Structure 1
């Protein structure tokens, strides 16, 4: 009789877990943040859109922080493979985020040095070439690192618990967003002559009226690259272009500062959530 009662309770427990239940508000919050970030993946990459993505990633990690504190997260069934995948994935995200921070720091230092040299009105092109060489190293480091990383494309399965699915999807969206930032910073490998001329023409015609949309979508990194390439590859009057190049460098430094601030905040959240996940596994 006792055995029958125990089996009945066990069966009831299993059935009750399989019944559909209303999602927890925190789960809804995570899903909402994921939807916003997925929708932004199709948008054209610009400094403003990338800052919005980084802000969205911080909101996502804040909601995951709440998720990991819920009892349902501590009770969710997680197999060993999923645990290994999640831990490996979180390390990958931290690595790519750290790369982005290092790249931006190096770029800001190079831009500041060049801007200082231009302010002194030096008429040689040594500092310009030094900056361009640094940019080549940055591009190479970014492309090599991204090529060596296995891109995550999570496909939800029936075997995955809801918590695991949310964490893996968050990993994918986060990686894609940081990858977009790195590719924005790297710029095109081989800009076409037409695109170079289009950008250089903005310096040749400083009084040209640029539409708000066009100004919003321009790449501050590429604008500096192309302007400096025009100085080193052509018989341009260096001093005539100094003022315009300085203006572009100031825009670039401001853009980098915004990225750095958002990335540092995101990095802290990523570390905190990894620690929270490890704590769950140790209990």
Structure 2
């Protein structure tokens, strides 16, 4: 019998002292590999917080949940779910799947709303309808809408941070496969929530990455990994850049300043924001569909 940590020398499960079958199914190992890759991505992007790094994490998260779906299809996994369907951890898993869907929806809504507002501002800038005053009023509307988005993001982040508190469970009378399954599922949820936290913070306009929290078995990797390129990099946040540029336009009119904000530069930043939002939205849509399929698969197993 091998310990849980024997599955991966870098593993650091809370349940590492409990034995696993001598030949665990390869999908357990694959899930761990995906978790490690997301952790490595977070470590390597710590000095460069950009839409591309967020997209990379979302892509890694999709791969992880695709692998999890395969794990759900295994007979030994389905048998474990059926045996344990009345246990607290199964209810927690179902609640967690809903939390992930809710936060994914909140992020999509924030992206769609911001993207549509950015398109409207670009259209107005091209036509300059209503003159300077009319344009400034539209900019104020955009900035007001961003405040609404940021408020919604703050609420979602608060919910996320509360849900990241892990509950404990008793391993008494549980077979090794069930214990290993619970460990993997809790790691997947924790990692998913922290990726979503980074995404939401980015959408709100934060220019520094939220460090991955709540990871148990990848914590050693995060503490010991040396990032090859540690020189300072310019942090680009398309949301924050547009907020700042449009705020400058409003201040310019209010103060009757002679200085002019470069409208071409503002248009360029708006275009970058639109492309960034579209890219993140597409990644979220794929992930959202996978999360729904995984939940349906789990519910079907429990109902049989």
TM-score by length of 2: 0.74
Partner of residue 73, structure 2: 69
Larger radius of gyration: 1
Matched, 1:220 2:244: no
In structure 2, do the counterparts of structure 1 residues 117 and 213 end up closer, same or farther at CA, with 3 Å as the change threshold? farther
The counterpart of 2:200, out of the listed 176, 182, 196, is 182
- In the alignment, the residues of structure 1 paired with residue 75 and residue 258 of structure 2 have an alpha-carbon distance, to the nearest angstrom, of 67
In structure 2, do the counterparts of structure 1 residues 162 and 219 end up closer, same or farther at CA, with 3 Å as the change threshold? same
- In the alignment, the residues of structure 2 paired with residue 94 and residue 237 of structure 1 have an alpha-carbon distance, to the nearest angstrom, of 49
Matched, 1:88 2:99: no
- In the alignment, the residues of structure 1 paired with residue 121 and residue 259 of structure 2 have an alpha-carbon distance, to the nearest angstrom, of 13
Matched, 1:126 2:147: no
List runs of 5+ in structure 1 lacking aligned partners.
Answer: 1-17, 190-211
- In the alignment, the residues of structure 2 paired with residue 219 and residue 108 of structure 1 have an alpha-carbon distance, to the nearest angstrom, of 14
In structure 2, do the counterparts of structure 1 residues 268 and 229 end up closer, same or farther at CA, with 3 Å as the change threshold? same
Offset from partner CA, 1:113-168 (integer Å, 9 cap, x none): 01111111342211111111110110011102322342324478672621122112
Q: What are the equivalent positions in structure 2 for 1:168-247 lying under 5 Å apart?
A: 168-188=186-206, 214=233, 217-234=235-252, 235=256, 240-247=261-268
The number of aligned residues is 244
Structure 1 segments of 4+ aligned residues over 6 angstroms from their partners: 155-158
List runs of 5+ in structure 2 lacking aligned partners.
Answer: 1-18, 172-177, 208-230
Matched, 1:104 2:111: yes
- In the alignment, the residues of structure 1 paired with residue 204 and residue 55 of structure 2 have an alpha-carbon distance, to the nearest angstrom, of 16
Partner of residue 139, structure 1: 150
- In the alignment, the residues of structure 2 paired with residue 23 and residue 170 of structure 1 have an alpha-carbon distance, to the nearest angstrom, of 18
Partner of residue 41, structure 2: 40
In structure 2, do the counterparts of structure 1 residues 130 and 245 end up closer, same or farther at CA, with 3 Å as the change threshold? same
TM-score by length of 1: 0.79
Partner of residue 211, structure 2: none
2:249·2:261 contact (CA, 8 Å) conserved in 1? no
More helix by share: 1
- In the alignment, the residues of structure 1 paired with residue 189 and residue 36 of structure 2 have an alpha-carbon distance, to the nearest angstrom, of 14
Higher alpha-carbon deviation: 268-277 or 44-53: 44-53
In structure 2, do the counterparts of structure 1 residues 60 and 126 end up closer, same or farther at CA, with 3 Å as the change threshold? same
Q: What are the equivalent positions in structure 2 for 1:259-274 lying under 5 Å apart?
A: 259-274=280-295
The counterpart of 1:53, out of the listed 54, 57, 62, is 57
Cα-Cα RMSD: 2.5
